[in-house]
Amino acid sequence: MPPLPFIVTIIVLLALAALGVAAGVSAPAPYGIIRESWRQTLDVFRYRSLLPLFAFALFFVQIAAPLAINLYPPENQWVAAAFLVLAQALVTYALAHVAYRLHRGLIYGEWAAGLSFGARERRMALYVLASWFFVTILSHLPIPAPPLIAPAVAPILGAALWLQAFVVKVLFALIGPAASLDDPKPLRRSIASVWREPAAIFAIVVIVQLTLTFLNAVFSLATGASLGLAILRGGITLLATTFFYILSEFALVIVLTRVWEDQYEPETRYAAHNLNWL
């Protein structure tokens, strides 16, 4: 019998292939959404450079927080953990304000020179923060160690918990866009969207996640341990992360409007960002 990791790898590859085919024939046309989001992201970098700059700075803070802990470690490890969680929460909350401007700008043309912090923005950011907190807790549930469980069961249990957290992450993926577009019940809308078009939404999330993982792996292999190359790798990684963050936010808000056609826009198919909807 083949070893368990080999069997799991084959199952994952088959599942990804099935997802790719299902997404290709799904009504929202997620691959077209990715192409359009790429084009819109390039336009944001060209004409609305402050939004990418804000996101870049926030991702820099996200990376700098653990580095600061390593350079100046506190005596109490709980203080370090609390600092990192607080830093990540603040970054997530602030990034939600960037996403709000991206969503409203693309769908309603409400572009702004900077960020805004009104009641709508705070509501959307709090929804995003709450969903991030829930998924983070779910992703870090403790796994019993041997001898409480058999050694062979531990990796299976870990994979099951990871899959569970990923599914919940996808179910929550459209909370931010729905809240940005003033949906009265963003959580219910997000879950209902995945229920209506699971292949399209799963495909978009998987494509973005796999692309970021691949880029990080490439940058790790392409750079060495010297300080100059480490700084170069860090800068490129931050730039790529910023680009794909903006792309993912565009993709999620576009798929939301396509799944619920004409509920957020008067005529979704005639919107500029949907003219390539096949």
Q: Where are the beta strands (DSSP E) in 145-272?
A: none
Closest Cα to residue 204, out of 163, 262, 244?
A: 244
Q: Which residues lie below 8 Å from residue 84, measured CB to CB, with a gap of 6+?
A: 65, 66, 69
- Residue span of the structural domain in which 136 resides: 4-274
Closest Cα to residue 165, out of 209, 123, 126?
A: 209
* C-alpha–C-alpha distance, residues 56 and 244, integer Å: 11
Identify whether the C-beta of residue 102 lies closer than 8 Å to the C-beta of residue 82.
no
User: SS3 for 110?
Assistant: coil
Q: Rounded to the nearest 5°, which phi and psi values hold at 198?
A: -65, -40
Print burial letters for 158-178: b (CB count within 10 Å at least 16), e (below 16). Answer: eeebeeebbebbbbbbbbbbb
Domain count for the chain? 1
Identify whether the C-beta of residue 120 lies closer than 8 Å to the C-beta of residue 100.
yes
* C-alpha–C-alpha distance, residues 218 and 196, integer Å: 35
Q: What is the pLDDT along the chain (278 residues), one digit of tens a residue?
A: 445 566 666 776 777 777 777 767 778 888 899 999 999 999 999 988 889 999 999 998 988 888 777 777 777 788 788 888 899 999 999 999 999 999 999 999 998 878 888 899 999 999 999 999 999 888 887 776 666 666 666 677 777 788 888 899 999 999 999 999 999 999 999 999 999 999 999 999 988 888 877 776 766 655 555 666 667 777 888 888 899 999 999 999 999 999 999 899 989 888 889 887 76
